[in-house]
Amino acid sequence: MSPPLQLSFVLSAPSVAALPHTAAEVAVVGRSNVGKSSLINALANRKSLAQVSNTPGRTRLLNLYQLANGGTVLDLPGYGYAAVSQRTLSTWPALIEGYLLGRAHLEMVVALIDAAIGPTRLDVQMLDWLRSHELPHVVVATKHDKVKPSQRLRRRGELAAACSLHPADIVWASASKGTGVEQLRGFVRMWLAAAS
């Protein structure tokens, strides 16, 4: 059993330069509404550590969390939601790219994809971008509970193929049901072990 991650909120930064130094960091990235905040809350077993919102696109800053034993988790702004201003949209990719290319001690990028509807075109672009920059990353399929049990095997195959991955390489998770949460806690601890 993997106990909850003891995460505490540090700050919301508008730029990479505003982030404090870290010895090891895991970043979480995904389309707005993919379930990022819910998953961070599930990892910590907290209800509202990260903001869970039905209004996609509200998280527009780099939200930093500290793990009690050392290391940090960075919640990146959600990408690809249309109902925000053009100005904001144009700054997101630069913020995300600037962070991913410029952050020292970034150990792992956790790329979230909606298990029921993904990957979207933007998700695939994100994966291609991560691969082209040789950034270590893991795909986590969120909202696993939304896929009917009878369709899960097929969905796993489809999603993996669309991501150019093997089904076993994808972590299936549900913040609602707890699926995959313990496994992910163990991974985060392992990735951040360099900091402890």
> Which positions lie near ligand GDP, rule CB under 6 A?
30, 32-38, 52-54, 56, 78, 142-143, 145-146, 174-176
**Angle, vertex CA 107, rays to CA 102 and CA 113, nearest 5:** 90
Residue 4 or 56: the one with the smaller Cβ distance to ligand GDP is 56
Beta-carbon contacts of 85 under 8 Å, excluding residues fewer than 6 positions away, are: none
**Residue 12's beta-bridge partner residues?**
63
Which residue, 137 or 143, is less far from ligand GDP as judged by CB? 143
Query: What's the min distance (Å) between Cβ of 83 and ligand GDP?
Result: 13
CB of 32 to ligand GDP, least distance (A): 5
Which one, 71 or 180, has the nearer CB to ligand GDP?
Answer: 180
**Greatest C-alpha distance within the chain:** 47
* Cβ 52 to ligand GDP shortest distance, Å: 4
Question: Looking at beta carbons only, is 23 or 89 nearer to ligand GDP?
Answer: 89
Q: Taking Cα atoms as reference points, which of 72, 71, 92 lies closest to residue 81?
A: 92
In the complex, what is the shortest distance from the CB of residue 74 to ligand GDP, in angstroms, rounded to a whole number? 14
Distance of alpha carbon 13 from alpha carbon 103, whole angstroms: 13
CB 163 within 8 A of CB 139: yes
